[in-house]
Homo-oligomer: A and B are copies of this chain.
Amino acid sequence: MEKFFIPKLAVVGVGLIGGSLALALKAAEAVGEVIGIGRGLANLEKALELGVVDRITRNPAEGVSEADLVFLATPVMALPQVAAEVLPHMKRGAVLTDGGSVKEAVVRAIEPLLPEGIHFVPGHPIAGTERSGADAAFASLYQGRRCILTPTEKTSSGALELVRQVWETAGSDVVEMPVDKHDRILAAISHLPHMVAYSLVNAVSSYDRYEENILEYSAGGFRDFTRIASSDPVMWRDIAMTNREALLEMMDHFESFFAELKEDILSGDGSRLFEFFQRSKKNRDAIL
C-alpha cells in the first residue's frame, strides 16, 4: 500500500486546532510543506519559530495557491468569509476541509462558493483545551479523539477518503454522519452543557444578598463543574448563533427536566427525587 502523503498543506488559522493537525501530520511524516495563514503576525511568527508550520503568510490567496489540502481552522463565523477568500485561488483538484463545531451553517455558506474541480469535506474534530494560539498546539491533541465528517451529496468520495486519512493519521477515530445529525448531537453533548455552565456561573455570581463574593465558598465540585464556562466567548457566540435551531430545541428539552425536578422539590416527593438522581447517576457512571 502506498504511504499516504500530502505534498503541501495550508492551514488557515494556526491556533490549537490548526496547529495541532499540522504537528500531528509532521510527526507522522505525512506532509511535505505546511503553509501557515493568518491575520496576526505575532502568532504566525510564533508558529514558524516553534516549527508548527514551515512558511507563513498573511495573504490567503498566495498561501493556498499550491496547496493540495487547505484546512480552515478559524472561528465558525469567520469560515464563510475565509472560504470566499481562498477558494478562487486553490488549484484544480485540491481539497478544502474545515474544523468548525457547527456544520449546517458552514456547509450552507461554503458549498455554493465551490469552483469546478475543488472539493469540500466538512469536518469537526471533537477535541480542544481551554488554551488557544499556536503555542497551545501539540501533536497528540487528536489521539483517540472522535473526528466527525459530514459529507453531503456534493462531497466527492475521493476527497472524503483523503480527509479521513488525514484525521486517522493524526490519531482520530473518524465517524461519518449527516450534517443535521452532527449539529443535533453536538447541541446535546456540547453546546447545551456550555449554555448551562455559562448561565450557572452568571446566576451564582450575581447572587448579591450578601456583601461578599460567595464563589469563595465554592469547593472543587463547583470549579470542575464550571470549567467549561471559561471557554472562549467568541467561539461560543459563533456556535450559539450558527446552531441556533438545534441548540434552542435542546435548551427547551433541558428546561423541561429542570422544571420537573423543581416540581418534585416543591411537592417534597422523596421517592421521585431519589429516582431522578439515581437515574442520572446511572447514566453518568456509564460514561466514566
Contacts and interface: CB of A to CB of B under 8 A. Distances in A.
A278 interface: yes
A277 B257 CA distance: 23
Interface string A261-280: 11011101010011011111
A262 B253 CA distance: 12
Task: Please report whether the interface of chain A is mostly helix, strand, loop or mixed according to DSSP.
Answer: helix
Contacts of A268: 241, 244
Contacts of A193: 200, 204, 221-222, 225-226
Interface string A224-262: 111111111110110011001001101101111110011
A245 to B, nearest CB: 10
A188 interface: yes
25 contacts: A126-B217, A128-B219, A145-B219, A185-B210, A188-B207, A189-B214, A189-B222, A190-B221, A192-B204, A193-B204, A195-B261, A198-B277, A198-B280, A200-B254, A200-B257, A201-B280, A205-B279, A207-B250, A215-B286, A221-B227, A224-B225, A236-B277, A248-B262, A248-B266, A251-B262
Interface of A: 126-128, 145-146, 148, 181, 184-186, 188-190, 192-207, 209-210, 214-219, 221-234, 236-237, 240-241, 244, 247-248, 250-251, 253-258, 261-262, 264-266, 268, 270, 273-274, 276-281, 283-288
